[in-house]
Structure 1
Amino acid sequence: MEERKNLIVGQSGGPTAAINASLAGVCCGAKHFGFEKVYGMRFGIEGFLNEKIVDLDETLNSELNIELLKRTPSSYLGSCRYKLPKPEAGNEVYQKAFELLEKHSIDVFVYIGGNDSMDTILKMSEYAKIIGSQIKFIGIPKTIDNDLPVTDHTPGYGSAAKYIATCISEVVRDSNVYDLKSVTFVEIMGRNAGWLTAAAALAKNSFNDGADFILLPEIGLNLKEFINILGNRLNEKNNIVVAVSEGIKDQNGNYISEDEGNVDAFGHKMLSGTAAYLAKKIKSELGVKTRAVEINTLQRAAAHLQSKTDIDEAFNIGFLGVKAGIEGETGVMMYFDRVNDAPYLSIVRKCDINLVANIEKEIPRGWISEDGFGVNEKFIEYAKPLIAGELSNIVCEGIQSHIVSLK
């Protein structure tokens, strides 16, 4: 590209504690590489199609705002869960999208998100080929679920894992207060991949106790057998804590907590109430005190427990995504390639978006304990570096400060 014109960036899918750090990286990269304007899509591709476009030069106009943005959870630009139709010549949705891109003199289109967001990059880049457009389409990974293939891990996962491990250690402390038999189920996000739930294992160290059982969606649960095992464990200790994925399935592959008939825009079945279901079942079968704790959306955007490693990497991958665009890459996702464990080191590379879009990565069976009720050292060695480091908070009136929300 000889002449830098404008760049547009959007965010999509669920919020995280790191997605705004990637946005900060994109904005800084755009300025570094000489783009005239940086535009933002309000509410992802759906908002873009409705011409909800903002000039980020007006709001992210100082070093303080960039630093606040990196420490601000959720999606500064807003998000969506909008599925583009199949790209075909003459499709009205794409015609409108590319008319808007031309109207704003866009050279590079950057989209930050997870699996479904990479589907957007795939389809937009395919349509660009159909019509001969020279606009470049770059995907920046983001998902606390950590279920994107190719990349070693995804921005957002490290901070969510840090939050979950902290919560588990505190729930364990709470459950041990009384001298009675109890089982506490802590429900953690994760539909088909158990990366988040597995992070509960990081709670255990020389100072803290961890969960007694970790139930992952990769392993079908024999509920009758688990109840027997739980009963035997209660003979050995009073208080049991179980970390359980919201997407836990039975041995026939059926979600335990499936909300029958309800699906989202991408056809994913809606889930709810796994911990509550298990707590009720165990209380009935074993006659002990039970509790259901659902971390829910808290794990997605807990900026007070951001991993410094996560935020630094999220910023860098956004910055380098811009660089890939000006070098002529399109239809690609940036990703992390881990080249060393101790000391930890990952570098940013790029891959064809076809290797990523609409594909889920589960925890390898070799990283799960033999009995299926936990993870082993291979997972611990993988995940520990991702939660390392703390970011200093910018505090105002006793509470962590964030960047002022867009109107």
Structure 2
Amino acid sequence: MSSTTRGNLIIGQSGGATAVINASLVGAVQAAMADKRIEGIYGMRHGIEGLLKEDILDLRQQPANIWQQLLYTPSAALGSCRYKLQDDDLTRAIAILRRYDVRYLLYIGGNDSADTAHRLAQAAQQSGYELYAISVPKTIDNDLPFTDHCPGYGSAARFIAQATIDSSMNTISIPSHYPVKVIETMGRDAGWLVASSALGKREEDDPPHIILIPEQHFVAERFLQRVEEVYRRVGYVIVVAAEAIRDEKGLALGAVGQVGTDAFAHPLLSGAAQYLTDLVKRELKLRARFDKPGDLQRMASTNVSPPDRNEAYLAGKMGTQALLNHESDKMITLVRHNEPEYHCTTDLVELAQIANKQRLLPDEYLDESKTMVTQAFYNYAMPLIGEPLARHARLETTRLQR
């Protein structure tokens, strides 16, 4: 296929949607519309499942103003899925791509989506079909290797940081009522999102006081000791915990509430926060409650980070450009630059190095207790959340003298 040969492009979105995943779609589509080498621009409805069902949209027929609107719209406009390609799906998928004369494929998603794009690229090569496939990163978990960070993380991190500040205000106002609060975040195996809860912390006694990440085994005695210490010193305790924290045997604390697994055999957990509050109430005799932001942390349009949106758009745009440069079986990565000020460029990495692999929170981002972040993490994460977080005023505690 020469650099002047025309072909059709198909785009899919997969995995957990984010507040900025549509920005990647917009970047990809607008780059395609600007290049005459791309004729049809198609969208898979609900990711690879839509391709297999031939549920395909003609994106060139969309209203012209929709793309600017989608830039600020959360969730996956094309619809998402969590479908693991089966071996016998691959032959059908390549046959469908042939039928629609699709020569360019862009798949926007996380670890499992990278695996899907990799398998499609390999299947096309093995069948002798000239297809260029590129993965565009997306995940609030921020756990894809070889990229400085992932589109979607900055906005989710901003939400969790601000939500921790705001939720703590209620505890601060009446600590005697529920002196211990647990905030449960998403994050399957990596602690990036939990760590972001500390981005609004200025002093040692500011919330959160304890973070619990999946990379560190949970030890009940150590946790209870830390809760008691903070309670005696501060008068209340804010804990932020990942939904998938595990005990010393590797069992998730929320296993009692597990409701199965997804198509990629990842456990669907529910119960870590409940476990922790029950533990505190039983062992320390302190009243405790929990907050679970759930989908809001992925989808809250009110807390979108402007750099995150811009970088998601850039990743989609450069994904299309990589296809037009006949790159294939690769993922777009974000490369950080701090001079003259923070910004990102993009690069490419082989999908074989990405698919089904994870980047965990580095040790240098955690203090000796492994329950709080270091300055190195602040330096890493603060540019990603954009504008400064809201700082709430507090009255001075000077009492009336008679």
* Structure 2 alignment gaps of length 5 or more: 389-402
1:179, distance to aligned residue in structure 2 (A): 4.7
1:271 partner SS: coil
Amino acid at match of 2:195: A
Counterparts of 1:150-299 in structure 2, within 5 Å, are 150-180=146-176, 182-205=179-202, 209-258=206-255, 259=257, 262-299=260-297
Whether contact under 8 Å (2:183, 2:240) holds in the other structure is yes
Amino acid at match of 1:68: Q
1:122 — aligned with what?
Answer: 118
- How many angstroms apart in 2 are the aligned matches of 1:26 and 1:186? 36
| Runs of 4+ more than 3 Å apart | none
1:74 partner SS: coil
2:338 partner SS: strand
- How many angstroms apart in 1 are the aligned matches of 2:343 and 2:50? 37
Measured against aligned partners, the alpha-carbon deviations of 1:310-349 in whole angstroms (never above 9, x if no partner) come to 0001001101111110111110000111132772122100
2:379 — aligned with what?
Answer: 381
Cα 1:121/1:227, change in 2 over 3 Å: same
Amino acid at match of 1:6: N
1:260, distance to aligned residue in structure 2 (A): 5.2
2:148 partner SS: coil
2:5 — aligned with what?
Answer: 3
1:45 — aligned with what?
Answer: 48
* Residue in structure 1 matching 2:131, options 124, 131, 135: 135
Cα 1:179/1:110, change in 2 over 3 Å: closer
Cα 1:341/1:246, change in 2 over 3 Å: farther
1:318 — aligned with what?
Answer: 316
Whether contact under 8 Å (2:22, 2:75) holds in the other structure is yes
- How many angstroms apart in 1 are the aligned matches of 2:166 and 2:332? 36
Q: Between Structure 1 and Structure 2, how many residues are aligned?
A: 382
2:350 — aligned with what?
Answer: 352
Whether contact under 8 Å (2:94, 2:120) holds in the other structure is no
1:236 partner SS: helix
Measured against aligned partners, the alpha-carbon deviations of 1:230-272 in whole angstroms (never above 9, x if no partner) come to 1122111211110111111112222111245822110112211
TM-score when normalising by structure 2: 0.92
1:79 — aligned with what?
Answer: 80
- How many angstroms apart in 2 are the aligned matches of 1:173 and 1:339? 36
Q: What is the CA RMSD across the aligned residues, in angstroms?
A: 1.6
Whether contact under 8 Å (1:165, 1:202) holds in the other structure is yes
Whether contact under 8 Å (1:42, 1:79) holds in the other structure is yes
- How many angstroms apart in 2 are the aligned matches of 1:217 and 1:126? 33
Amino acid at match of 2:209: D
1:299, distance to aligned residue in structure 2 (A): 0.4
Whether contact under 8 Å (1:151, 1:336) holds in the other structure is yes
Amino acid at match of 2:378: I
TM-score when normalising by structure 1: 0.91
1:296, distance to aligned residue in structure 2 (A): 1.0
* Residue in structure 2 matching 1:309, options 282, 307, 313: 307
* Residue in structure 2 matching 1:58, options 56, 61, 73: 61
- How many angstroms apart in 1 are the aligned matches of 2:211 and 2:221? 16
1:3, distance to aligned residue in structure 2 (A): 2.2
